[in-house]
Amino acid sequence: MLDRQYVDIQIPFCGFHESEANAVINEALDEYYSHLPDERFPFKLIEEPFVLQGFSEEYTNVFQNFFNTATSLSISLIFKSLTSPEFYDEDTDRIICQISRADVLALREAVKDDVLALCFSEIPTIEDPGAKPVFEWTTEQLEILMIAVMMSRGAVGLDYFEVMKPMKLQYLVEYINDNRKEVKR
């Protein structure tokens, strides 16, 4: 149950527009639908919101495992929503999760102030929260906190293909089959 014991956090994600995530989805769909005659192949399926939603839910689980392995922490993330911008030249897709207050405190305790300050200085569009209590940080500021924890624990850089590698894409096909109506070209 999502309640006051949890706060929203944006997790590191490359978005869908011309990204690694888009390539992974297309590859899975191409493989699954390769046996169908060309006239039945759902070319526009990648644009279906339920495909992106299902992918985002699975990505949340895979990212949580990646993060915990890379940092030797044990946080839990609960998928909450996927937001997409009106125009991709101005922004990207964002995955918002819920994280317990205890896990937020564990993240904050796991990173030194100088590493956190360095991370905020690298992204001038996101304001450094300074001494503001961590529970008052924005979802974007909490995402920077996660990145700072990974950096301080030696997980330099974030290769989204590596994060997505363990995704079981069969779930995506099952999700599509369970949720889609006939997709027309």
For residue range 115-145, list pLDDT tens digits in order. 888 888 888 788 888 888 899 999 999 999 9
pTM: 0.78
In a domain, 25, yes or no: yes
Q: In the prediction, which pLDDT does 37 show?
A: 61
In a domain, 184, yes or no: no
Q: In the prediction, which pLDDT does 8 show?
A: 95
Q: Where are the alpha helices (DSSP H) in 18-90?
A: 20-33, 49-71
Q: In the prediction, which pLDDT does 110 show?
A: 93
Q: In the prediction, which pLDDT does 15 show?
A: 78
Domain count, the chain: 1
Of the candidates 51, 69, 64, 38, the residue with the CA atom closest to the CA atom of residue 169: 51
In a domain, 183, yes or no: no
| Alpha carbon distance 95, 155 (integer Å) | 21
In a domain, 60, yes or no: yes
In a domain, 37, yes or no: yes
Where the chain has pLDDT below 50, the residues are 1-2, 182-185
Hey, how many other C-beta atoms are within 10 angstroms of the C-beta on 150?
22
Domain that holds residue 50: 6-175
In a domain, 75, yes or no: yes
In a domain, 22, yes or no: yes
**Ramachandran region, residue 157 (left: φ > 0; alpha: ψ -120 to 50; beta: rest):** left
Of the candidates 166, 7, 174, 172, the residue with the CA atom closest to the CA atom of residue 75: 7
Q: In the prediction, which pLDDT does 33 show?
A: 67
